[in-house]
Chain A
């Protein structure tokens, strides 16, 4: 009630003020803690722009997208909202996003110091309809305690995928010999291409998909060899827990402390640190075609229907400025897109003392996560088909053929 009264008072005061106040809504997915950090960024922005007020609306990933679709379809979109690069074309191609190119043309220095690869996803023939706010590269996480206990030297930049596979086998343990493993050498999320199978396919010289040609590339000779490697490490060596074996430990085997290594992005750092794991990160191993990883960025877009495009742009510009990026780096969930911040104290001096610079250095050998209209449908079709191989329902070769066929069907539906 007190809150209501003060809001009402504020409204009356605002209405009475000579200059009308503009309010913009910014919606994003994330945890409540992230919401709090965004509120401090918004407060700093409001101090510099007294005539603009920013409303932060945070929801979890699933709830965010559900709500956003209804809001946009219902004609009441938030002015600014968060975007995941692979899903951006689904929104951009349907005309619901504001073209930011005129603003960028008027502020040629707005993107100075931004890592170019993080901008790629948002480029269209008509200009940029979105801007990145942070990025993720995939690295190799390892549990130091498990390596020490096994007398195994830590992973370094000399590791090949064979070294990695051998270490994973050595770190897979059934200490009491009851036939039930208590520890596995490796765990990664295998459904989406981002954390694991995409980087492995790249390291074998393949590629997951060619969206322009409408072709899924998981059944090329290079990809077949990459998937064979995953299959052998998982199903022959038994160095990765099956979904069944993992179920009782939750979703993430590295987080649960039952996997000695994992492939993941920076988003895992706060969680792993909070779980009290003694861990660090290393570059992904070298494959037959060299070293490769993936990079994906999360960003902002502005609604094409916003009443306050200028205020929304001001806010986006602030969030990718040094001040905004330095605050965001504090959340520790991602890497800043500004080189000056990613190489500075705000990012490198985070409380979690691991090789933070590695996530930035990984850009040198990173491939962009595919970005195209229908990404989610394609990812689901391919993921469902690959699951046939991981569950043992189909032979790997058959599952890859199905994945390619279903992936192509999904691409065709979204042309």
Chain B
């Protein structure tokens, strides 16, 4: 691989070609991260000059019921969504990692939600979840059950998790399929010859080999969970552009752009970023430890 390393003047060309991306990253991504951090220490309403507010925006956050509610919704959602998405997409990938007729069809079918418009799909699910004559309740009543209020307060959390997991399986499946196909077939064949059961082959060969993909997928899914917005908003919106299940991202948007409180919105965004950052650190630690054991 050593001969692929750029040498001499080539190095400068590497920099030149990477410049647009690096500049975009520097100004766009890091620029907005630092701008958000800066705004979070001010009171700014967009229309009049900002004034310094110290840490008051952070101090006020715990007392803001709309924020607390959004935080709780996001945490509860993530606790269900992350494990469900990772586990289900792993098993879907294992199931589809074989040569059977029509395999492409199934792979496309699982991937389809990933490339569909969340707004359109969200509306479709509104109909599926409808209380009277909705598809879900038709099935439930046909099986002799009582109709369920799928999007009522106590059930809505599970209903939106189902939709989001359904929408995320395709993306996870692709990552796991790529990981699975990089495992040499010989390993499993040898193990099978030695009398390993399918479960043992999964536990001792496939899963350890998938560890990097798994780690990547868990981090990505966690980030997506904390930033979840579109399906949830479409399924739980009320009049006036509000939602019966406001998430953190919704709260940030609403606080900043509709309530004219950019400083508070920025503080919420920093808290969200901080939570994702801490969780990712924890995952890194866990991966190191798990990686050392395997």
**B174 vs chain A, min Cβ distance (A):** 33
- In the complex, the answer to whether A69 meets B239 with C-beta atoms within 8 Å is no
Q: Which of B46, B132, B242 contacts A73 (CB 8 A)?
A: B46
Interface of B, helix, strand, loop or mixed by DSSP = loop
Closest residue of chain B to A391, judged by CB? B153
B238 is an interface residue with CB less than 8 A from chain A: yes
In the complex, the answer to whether B239 meets A384 with C-beta atoms within 8 Å is no
Which chain B residues border A247 with CB–CB below 8 Å?
126, 129-131, 134, 151
* Assembly CA distance A242 to B150 (angstroms): 12
The interface on chain B, measured as residues whose beta carbon lies within 8 A of the other chain's beta carbons, has a size of: 37
| Interface bits B132-156 vs A (CB < 8 Å: 1, else 0) | 1110000000000001011111100
For residue A330, CB closer than 8 A to chain B, the reply is: no
Given A192-B240, A383-B242, A409-B65, residue A248 in contact with residue B47 (CB < 8 A)? no
Q: Is B32 an interface residue (CB 8 A)?
A: no
> Are the CB atoms of A251 and B239 closer together than 8 Å?
yes
In the bound assembly, the distance between CA atoms of A244 and B127 in angstroms comes to 11
B156 to A, closest residue via Cβ: A391
Interface residue A379 (Cβ < 8 Å from any Cβ of B): yes
Given A94-B45, A191-B239, A248-B127, the answer on whether A69 and B257 have CB atoms closer than 8 Å is yes
Return the contact of B259 from the options A244, A245, A251, A374 (Cβ within 8 A). Answer: A374
Residues A191 and B242 in contact in the complex (CB < 8 Å), given A376-B258, A376-B259: yes
Structural contact, A94 and B261, CB atoms closer than 8 A: no
Q: In the bound complex, do residue A387 and residue B238 qualify as a contact, i.e. CB atoms below 8 Å apart?
A: yes
In terms of DSSP, what is the predominant structure of the interface of chain A? helix
Known A-B contacts A243-B238, A251-B239, A380-B240; the reply to A69 vs B131 at CB < 8 A is: no
Report the interface size for chain A: residues with CB under 8 A from the other chain: 40
* CB within 8 Å of A: which B68-95 residues: 69
Contacts of A376 in B (CB 8 A): 258-259
Decide if B239 touches A192 in the complex (CB within 8 Å): yes
B47 engages A62 (CB within 8 Å)? no
Contact B241 A62 (CB under 8 A): yes
B254 within 8 A of A: yes
Chain A residues whose C-beta falls within 8 Å of the C-beta of B129 in the assembled complex: 247
A384: chain B residues within 8 A (beta carbon): 66, 69, 242, 246
Q: In the assembly, what is the distance between CA of A247 and CA of B123, in Å? A: 10
Contacts of B132 in A (CB 8 A): 180-181, 245, 248
Q: List 25 A-B contacts (CB under 8 A).
A: A62-B241, A65-B258, A66-B257, A180-B147, A189-B239, A192-B240, A244-B130, A244-B131, A244-B149, A244-B150, A244-B151, A245-B131, A247-B131, A247-B151, A248-B126, A248-B130, A251-B239, A377-B261, A379-B240, A387-B244, A391-B244, A393-B153, A406-B65, A406-B66, A409-B65
15 A-B pairs besides A65-B258, A69-B257, A243-B238 with CB distance below 8 A are A73-B46, A180-B133, A181-B132, A191-B240, A242-B149, A242-B152, A244-B150, A245-B132, A247-B131, A248-B127, A377-B259, A380-B66, A383-B238, A391-B152, A392-B152
B contact set with A: CB distance below 8 Å: 45-48, 63-66, 69, 126-127, 129-134, 147, 149-154, 238-242, 244, 246, 254, 257-261
